[in-house]
Homo-oligomer: A and B are copies of this chain.
Amino acid sequence: MITSTTKIRVRYAETDRMQFAHHTRYFEWFECARTELLREIGYSYKSVEDDGTFLPLVEANCKYIQPALYDDILEIHTSLKSLPRSTLKLDYQIIRSEDQILLAEAFTIHAMTNKNGRPIKPPIKFLNFIKENI
């Protein structure tokens, strides 16, 4: 298992008239969080795409437990629990930094494709970076 923690501060633009961080933005934070996980294992998602591999979403799920509010600092804990095969799954937890309350739990499942959107097997280079960091 590979884990990573990313800190995010809720932006004003991310709030809605209910005073909560809007639910769509959580998925944007998860995207930042998995970008940081990949950077930490030494293979930034930018490099992954530059090498011709894309990770479009095939499924996204989030359970919203407590609202995140403007200016909150959030810790996003990301984990990769198994080697990617035809798909890659990541799990996320959002913890409010101040009181360590769990705000949300989520997962995303990604296809692995080449530049033309064709499904591919996980590239060796990608697998090696993961194996070295388990």
Give the B-binding residues of A (Cβ under 8 A).
9, 11-13, 15-20, 22-25, 27-28, 31-32, 35, 44-46, 54, 56-65, 67, 70-71, 117
Contact = CB atoms under 8 A, between A and B. Distances in A.
Q: Chain A contact residues: over half helix, strand or loop, or mixed?
A: mixed
Given A17-B70, A18-B56, A67-B56, A12 B35 contact: yes
Copies of this subunit: 4
Given A12-B31, A35-B12, A63 B58 contact: yes
Contacts of A46: 70-71
Contacts of A63: 58-59
24 contacts: A9-B32, A11-B28, A11-B35, A12-B16, A12-B17, A12-B45, A13-B16, A13-B24, A13-B28, A13-B31, A15-B16, A23-B27, A23-B57, A23-B60, A24-B24, A24-B27, A24-B28, A35-B71, A59-B61, A59-B64, A60-B60, A60-B61, A61-B61, A67-B117
